[in-house]
Structure 1
């Protein structure tokens, strides 16, 4: 995926934030934190993973399938835009 190379610093920053969130979950468990607090931390991790997944899938669609902003075929551009919207909604 050559497009990930251009996004590499941004993607790595997201991964580092995810590591920090996972470390927070580990610390909470080690400290016998309240289960509601641990669940909130885990929910944050899940949201961050979903956000990263959406970004990767959207970039893949734009670079390997069809870019709705530049595709000259209006039907393909519309289909790609709809697919991106569905993925964003599904992984929200």
Structure 2
């Protein structure tokens, strides 16, 4: 299995976890629910989405915004700074 395929499977697994969390929110809203519990579930989903977005953005920066394979990486430091900025913003 290729490296990219493994990464894709990890991202899909994250989406499935988020889907499970959203389903939990729906079930909680349909039953007798505690607002504090719903807010915690919502915060968990938001964190999961932000984390997933960070991973996809990082992959995009590394795989599409830097020099193609085999070529020198003139903007490696700039790309790493951008990744750090994105991660900080999504926390």
Match of 1:43 in 2: 43
Post-superposition, which runs of at least 4 consecutive aligned residues in structure 1 deviate over 6 A?
A: none
Query: Conserved in 1, the CA contact under 8 Å of 2:54 and 2:86?
Result: yes
Deviation digits for residues 23-64 of structure 1 (CA, Å, limit 9, x no counterpart): 110111111211111000000000000000000000000000
Q: Which residue of 1 aligns with 2:87?
A: 88
Aligned pair count? 87
How many Å apart are 1:73 and its aligned residue?
Answer: 4.1
Gaps spanning 5+ residues in structure 1: where?
A: none
The alignment's TM-score, normalised by the length of structure 2, stands at 0.85
TM-score, normalised by the number of residues in structure 1: 0.84
